[in-house]
Structure 1
Amino acid sequence: MPVITTIEDLRLLAKARVPRMFYDYADSGSWTESTYRANEHDFRRIQLRQRVAVNMEGRSLRTQMVGQDVAMPVALAPTGLTGMQHADGEILSARAAESLGVPFTLSTMSICSIEDIAAHTKAPFWFQLYVMRDRDFIERLIDRAKAAQCSALMLTLDLQILGQRHKDLKNGLSAPPKLTVANLLNMATKPRWCLGMLGTKRRQFGNIVGHVKGVTEMSSLSTWTAQQFDPRLNWGDVEWIKKRWGGKLVLKGILDPEDARLAVDSGADALIVSNHGGRQLDGAPSSINALPAIVDAVGSQIEVWMDGGIRSGQDVLKAVALGAKGTLIGRPFLYGLGAMGEQGVRTALQIIQKELDLTMAFCGRTDIRQVDKSILLPGTYPTPELFSV
């Protein structure tokens, strides 16, 4: 086993252990992937101010996200097909998040169901909702999340239609995978993954199969999304969902200050600055570049979080410095999951936690709640003026 010290180490190990179609599903963007690459690249431009001769004892990364105590301002993002990166992947990831004291978010398009996560964890988790044409199904999904005592509902707003992801089309992405010659040959080189999948019954979309009228199996993610994701989604639907849910509501997929103001008007408890990991509108700004303008517009009225491009604890610190009250990570924990299962997710979180703690100390801060843009080198970070129109 190689020595694991970075998220990149986990990515390389996952690439070697996960079948190509599922690795590519996690590690890709739409169209030319320019926004996908910008999410990560734009963090690198931001430089930190090192401070010295500061008492670094008694450091704390603890804070809150929508009133929930968290060990650091990081949560696991909702990611579809997590259980295809590793058998029972959502259960393993939720347990790892619980052990590190950070929230886990279950995707509508997960392999393990809401009930699976509730049965295998003690800490409250969050549920991410996609709005589909079948509103009766959506109502029942919300009710199932209530029954599982989910502590927040995360409504994704930027997937009314599906961005074109070339790798998924070329690989013939499906869950479970189609047994073509090419796929069988590729899976033959991933014995750990195959053994894990043979040992679990969870190989379909657990929140959907058996819960949709007339649907007994789900063989294609792209077919389902093409038929069911609702392009008519609007702010009136947000109001309806908020009323039906009745608890903490987080809106994911905000990139523009005008939409951020509408999110505030909707009564949501938090919003997430996000471009869906560069998987929807290619050519959209990176999340970290969009963050300051949204914080400037609404940061005093609603919790502003961000996701997209975070690959280290330093990235988390930079996002917090620019006003994010929380961050979400998707690919880093998926790499850990694909590489080493539950232990890999714990390792990914521990890497980020250690980098965040040490970098905060080097910048002369001992409490994450006291971090602001004064720890950044002027002229290296994005400002609200970038989004003035």
Structure 2
Amino acid sequence: MSFLSHKPIESVAEARARAKRLLPKDVFTAMEAGSDSGATMRENLRAFEQIGMIPRVGVDIPTRPDLKTRFMGMDIDLPVVIAPAAAQAMHPDGEVGVARAASRAGTVMGLSNFASMPVESVASANSQLVGHLYLSGDRDTMADRVERFRRAGVKGLIFTLDLSASRVVHQPRDWGSPVYPDGLGLGTFLKYAPTAALHPRWTLRYLRRGSVPGLYAPNMSKKGGAVPTLIGGLNEWIGTHIPTWEDMAWLSNLWGGPFMIKGLVTPDDARRAIDVGATAIGVSNHGGNNLDTTPSPLRFLPAVVKAVGDQAEVTFDSGVRRGTDVVKALALGATSVMIGRPWFYGLATDGERGVYEVLETFRVTIERALIGLGKSSIKALTPDDLVVPKDFFIDEIAVARY
């Protein structure tokens, strides 16, 4: 049940505004903030605004253009995929609600190994689920987690490679970082009681469900071991060596199925990923949550697409907020786009229904953009549909100078 207005969400901006009003400041900041000054996060948004689109008129096209594509070998009806994310203390629906919303929208959900709900429960809500891992613990521990994903019915595996610069629990940010509680003891309840009282609608959601915000990481548990807290899981990850290409080759071989390496921006890294077994490349700077002042991955996308050719799928994320952003990324060669903060806003606003409504805002605005461009399908999009500033793209030679 929703405790907000039942007025449907009509844009990501509206979902964000509702989430900001509803959530405690620490929860919203944890979801919203980028690393350090947030320069990369802002650059990700600006990059899309710098690219224009060329309208075409008088074209005979259907009123509902074709949005179908493939993601990690799966057919999907919407080229917008739920990116994996941890610590979903936004709504008691949690990852299961997100999975249901994605299934209803005809798309895939990525599930983080730091998720607050077990993979088995989430997989039962969406048959098109991909699992996400960081390198954490020794290889036996990693192998056990991979096998758990496999037994749960996960269809593909995503490994995020780019969060090496942020391997601290409380990452410093210019606007301040919230401190994540280590579990839910009496001290935690007393400390956050005033916050809960000041945000009654958010608090009542959990009270009426008889639950609490997810501060545990059930998919990080070891055989026969207790479920760790989120902080406990993060500490294990921080204590593990930074992943190498050798680790990626081992993991790809262990999984043996669709395998994405995410967090790449340069053509040479994309080629290395294919060499170690990646079937999909995730062009991304982690939404501005890794190395601050990194250029938008949109500026690198065509060079990566060219380097990859037909050897792997190319997906894109970082700064996507509306359907026109999706269309621009697809026109530059991506086969699909992943979103993070937008679905978080929807979850915070109205749980499963909020996530579904955010996905539908993307569907509607993608269709509207295609009609404006005179295209009957996302497959017909090309760079010729765009107006791009001179020197916007970072090609392979520029990467070498960069």
| TM-score, with length taken from structure 1 | 0.92
- Cα pair distance change 1:122/1:347, threshold 3 Å: closer
Residue in structure 2 matching 1:69, options 65, 68, 75 = 75
Same amino acid, percent of matched pairs: 32
Give the CA deviation at 1:12.
Answer: 0.9
Which whole-Å CA distance do the structure 2 matches of 1:298 and 1:291 have between them? 11
CA contact (8 A) 1:310 1:329 kept: yes
Give the superposition deviation at 1:62. Answer: 0.8
Amino acid at match of 1:270: A
- What is the aligned partner in structure 1 of residue 141 from structure 2? 137
Q: 2:241 aligns with which of 213, 227, 230?
A: 230
CA gap of 1:301–1:226, structure 2 versus 1, over 3 A, is: closer
Q: Equivalents in 2 of 1:312, 1:351: separation in Å?
A: 8
Alignment of 1:145-184 (within 5 A): 145-162=149-166, 164-166=171-173, 170-174=177-181, 176=183, 179=188, 183-184=192-193
Does 1:382 pair with 2:388?
no
SS at match of 1:272: strand
| Residue 356 to residue 221, structure 1, CA distance change in 2 (3 Å) | farther
SS at match of 1:85: coil
CA gap 1:223/1:147 in 2 versus in 1, 3 angstroms: closer
1:20-51 Cα distance to aligned partner (Å, 9 max, x none)? 22211110111111001111111001000011
Q: Which runs of 5+ in 2 are unaligned?
A: none
- Equivalent of 2:87, from 81, 94, 114? 81
Q: Is the 8 A contact 2:93 2:351 kept in 1?
A: no
Equivalent in 8, 20, 26 of residue 13 of structure 2: 8
Q: 1:239 and 1:63, CA in 2 relative to 1: closer, same or farther beyond 3 A?
A: same
Partner SS state of residue 270, structure 2: helix
Change (3 A) 1:184 1:294: same
Q: Report the CA distance between 1:145 and its aligned residue.
A: 0.6
1:125 counterpart residue number: 129
- Once the two structures are superposed, the pairs formed by residues 12-31 of structure 1 within 5 Å of their partners are 12-31=17-36
SS at match of 1:194: helix
Aligned to 2:270: 260
Alignment check: 8 A CA contact 1:45 1:381 kept? no
1:161 and 1:230 in contact (8 A); partners too: no
Shift of 1:255: 1.4
State whether residues 134 and 228 of structure 1, in contact with CA within 8 Å, keep that contact through their aligned partners in structure 2: no
Matches within 5 A, 1:218-297: 218=229, 220=231, 224=235, 227-231=238-242, 233-297=243-307
The equivalent residue for 2:196 is: 187
Give secondary structure in 2 for the equivalent of 1:155.
strand
| C-alpha separation in 2, matches of 1:111 and 1:137 | 19
Query: In structure 2, what residue type is equivalent to 1:55?
Result: D
Does residue 116 of structure 1 match 2:121? yes
Assess if the C-alpha contact under 8 Å between 2:263 and 2:284 holds in 1.
Answer: yes
Give the whole-Å Cα distance in 2 for the aligned partners of 1:283 and 1:311: 20
**Equivalent position amino acid for 2:70 in 1:** Q
Aligned length: 385
Q: Distance in 2 between matches of 1:167 and 1:109?
A: 25
Q: Deviations over 1:197-221 (max 9, x none)?
A: 3423754112124x36765541626
How big is the shift at 1:290? 1.9
Asked if the contact 2:215–2:230 (Cα under 8 Å) also holds between the matched residues in 1, the reply is no
- Matched position secondary structure for 2:315: strand
Q: Residues of 2 paired with 1:61 and 1:333: CA distance?
A: 19
Aligned match of 2:360 in 342, 345, 350?
350
Are the counterparts in 2 of residues 24 and 167 from structure 1 also a CA contact under 8 Å?
no
Which residue of the other structure, out of 199, 220, 230, is the alignment partner of 1:208? 220
Distance 1:19 1:134 in 2: 36
Structure 1: runs of 5+ lacking an equivalent: none
| Pair 1:341 & 2:351 matched | yes
Separation in 1, partners of 2:133, 2:220: 12
Structure 2 match to 1:303: 313
8 A Cα contact 2:107 2:128, kept in partner:
no
* Distance in structure 1 (CA, Å) of the matches to 2:391 and 2:376: 22
Which deviates more, 127-136 or 165-174?
A: 165-174
Structure 1 residue 137: deviation in Å? 1.9
Q: In the alignment, is the contact (CA less than 8 A) between 1:90 and 1:111 conserved in 2?
A: yes
**Structure 1 residue identity aligned to 2:355:** V
C-alpha contact 1:296 1:384 (8 A) present in aligned 2: no
Q: How does 1:306-325 map to 2 (within 5 A)?
A: 306-325=316-335
Kept in 1: contact 2:87–2:215 (CA 8 A): no
Larger displacement relative to structure 2 (61-70 or 196-205): 196-205
Asked if structure 2 preserves the Cα contact closer than 8 Å seen for 1:142 and 1:245, the reply is: yes
SS across alignment from 2:166: coil
C-alpha separation in 2, matches of 1:168 and 1:111:
26
What CA deviation, in whole Å up to 9, does each residue of 1:236-280 have, x standing for no partner? 111111111111101111011111110121121101011111111
CA distance in 2, matches of 1:278, 1:95: 27
Distance 1:292 1:384 in 2: 9
SS at match of 2:41: helix
Q: State the SS of the aligned residue for 1:185.
A: helix
Say whether the 8 Å CA contact 1:61–1:71 is kept in structure 2: yes
Mapped contact 1:88–1:112 kept (Cα < 8 A): no
Deviation at 1:79, TM superposition (A): 0.7
